[in-house]
């Protein structure tokens, strides 16, 4: 299954010229911990709760007067849409990131995958497998 079925589509995104306050408003409305930062649909970086904390609050920058383009994480790690979910999770754990923009071959933003999306997907997978196992044991199992 492609990552686009697991990820947040359409992705929360702001332009590089948006202020930190505007970006945080988008994150609050969408209930997400990161926004992709774009210019003409091309991914330029990612701006996360961690950036809010470390690059804005810790540095005592003003959210109304600071441009996201100046405090985003750039370049962002990205992944193509056909990456296996397990590989995406390993990558995120290894790089200590919780959000991974999915881009096409031209760097156009398609979606943003969160570690939460992945965990929920995996829990659903496990539940489906357990259910199948239950059915097997009930109906077709050894001695059944």
Binding stretches for a copy of itself (CB under 8 A): 20-21, 24-25, 27-28, 33, 49-50, 52-54, 56-58, 60, 63-64, 93, 96, 116, 119-120, 123
Termini Cα distance of the chain: 33
**Cβ–Cβ under 8 Å, residues 21 and 63:** yes
**Cβ–Cβ under 8 Å, residues 6 and 117:** yes
Q: How far is the CB of 54 from a copy of itself (least distance, A)?
A: 6
Q: How far is the CB of 53 from a copy of itself (least distance, A)?
A: 5
Q: How far is the CB of 12 from a copy of itself (least distance, A)?
A: 13
Q: How far is the CB of 32 from a copy of itself (least distance, A)?
A: 10
Q: How far is the CB of 108 from a copy of itself (least distance, A)?
A: 27
| C-beta closer to a copy of itself: residue 3 or 56 | 56
| C-beta closer to a copy of itself: residue 26 or 81 | 26
Helix (H) and strand (E) counts for the chain?
Answer: 5, 5
| C-beta closer to a copy of itself: residue 32 or 109 | 32
| C-beta closer to a copy of itself: residue 108 or 116 | 116
| C-beta closer to a copy of itself: residue 103 or 118 | 118
Q: What is the spatial distance between Cα 82 and Cα 62, in angstroms, rounded to a whole number? A: 39
* Residues in CB range of 101: below 8 A, 6 or more apart: 11, 36, 43, 46, 76, 77, 78, 79, 109, 111, 112, 113
Give the helix/strand (H/E) hosting 44: strand 42-48
């Amino acid at each position: 299954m492609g990552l686009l079925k697991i990820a947040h589509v359409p992705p929360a995104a702001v332009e590089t010229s948006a202020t930190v306050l505007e970006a945080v408003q988008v994150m609050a409305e969408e209930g997400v911990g990161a926004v992709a930062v774009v210019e003409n649909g091309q991914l330029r970086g990612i701006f996360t709760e961690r950036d809010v904390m470390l690059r804005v609050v810790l540095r005592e920058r003003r959210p109304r007067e600071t441009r996201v383009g100046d405090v985003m994480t750039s370049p962002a790690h990205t992944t193509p849409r056909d990456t296996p979910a397990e590989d995406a999770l390993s990558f995120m754990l290894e790089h200590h990131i919780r959000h991974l923009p999915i881009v096409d071959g031209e760097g156009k933003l398609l979606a943003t995958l969160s570690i939460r999306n992945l965990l929920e997907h995996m829990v659903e997978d496990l539940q489906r497998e357990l259910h199948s196992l239950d059915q097997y044991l009930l109906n077709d199992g050894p001695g059944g």
